[in-house]
């Protein structure tokens, strides 16, 4: 069995798995990072979104071999319960989730947006989240939460 080295949430890891294994399976089944969710498995819903070298990507369609040597960030790398990322805090403050299943992917897409654009318009936020489906219809609260986080990060809560 071949081994692939990559960095996940700042930690160097080596994974013994076939190179065709989807990154989503590696994260959940090999590394125990179950915050990244399986939804459709067909690159359609966005709930498996992670950052790969800073860019949002659907991990269900990413073979392990293509992320060798890359930096992967999952929702577990965003913040902790004691020290949440401003996006996580804003989602809590706005009660932005209903079932919550979509939220790890949405938080990752939102982080990618705010890393690039600290003051997005509502339309820019909606476009950045276009690949993320929320079956509960929580979109208005999700948009408000991203706006709240952006404002807070501009006031100095950024990281």
Q: Which of 8, 26, 27, 45 binds ligand FES (CB under 6 A)?
A: 45
Judged by CB under 6 A, the stretch of 46-54, 66-74, 116-124, 150-158 that binds ligand FES is: 46-54
Is residue 92 within the footprint of ligand FES (CB under 6 A)? Answer: no
What's the half-sphere exposure (Cβ side, CA atoms, 13 Å) at 9?
14
Q: How many CB atoms lie within 10 A of CB 124?
A: 14
Give whichever of 10 and 109 is closer to ligand FES, judged by the CB atom: 109
Beta strands in 47-102 (DSSP E): 49-52, 55-58, 71-73
Q: Among 34, 136, 147, 152, which residue interacts with ligand FES (rule: CB under 6 A)?
A: 136
Binding segment (CB under 6 A) for ligand FES, from list 13-21, 26-34, 35-43, 121-129: 35-43
DSSP-based three-state secondary structure for 88: helix
Q: How many angstroms separate the CA atoms of 20 and 35, rounded?
A: 21
Task: Select the residue interacting with ligand FES from 8, 39, 91, 148 (CB under 6 A).
Answer: 39
Q: Residues near 53 by Cβ (< 8 Å), separated by ≥ 6?
A: 70, 71
- Binding residues (CB under 6 A) for ligand FES: these are 38-41, 43-48, 58, 60, 97-102, 134-136, 138
């Amino acid at each position: 069995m071949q081994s692939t080295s990559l960095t996940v949430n700042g930690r160097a890891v080596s994974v013994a798995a076939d190179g065709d294994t989807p990154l989503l399976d590696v994260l959940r089944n090999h590394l125990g990072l179950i915050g990244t969710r399986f939804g459709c498995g067909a690159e359609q819903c966005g709930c498996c979104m992670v950052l790969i070298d800073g860019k949002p990507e659907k991990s269900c369609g990413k073979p392990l071999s293509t992320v060798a040597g890359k930096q992967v960030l999952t929702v577990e790398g965003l913040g902790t319960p004691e020290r949440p990322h401003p996006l996580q805090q804003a989602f809590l403050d706005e009660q932005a989730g209903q079932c919550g299943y979509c939220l790890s992917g949405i938080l990752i897409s939102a982080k990618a947006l705010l890393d690039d654009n600290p003051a997005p318009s509502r339309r820019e936020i909606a476009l950045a989240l276009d690949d993320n489906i929320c079956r509960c219809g929580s979109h208005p609260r999700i948009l408000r939460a991203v706006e709240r986080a952006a404002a807070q990060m501009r006031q100095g809560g950024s990281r």
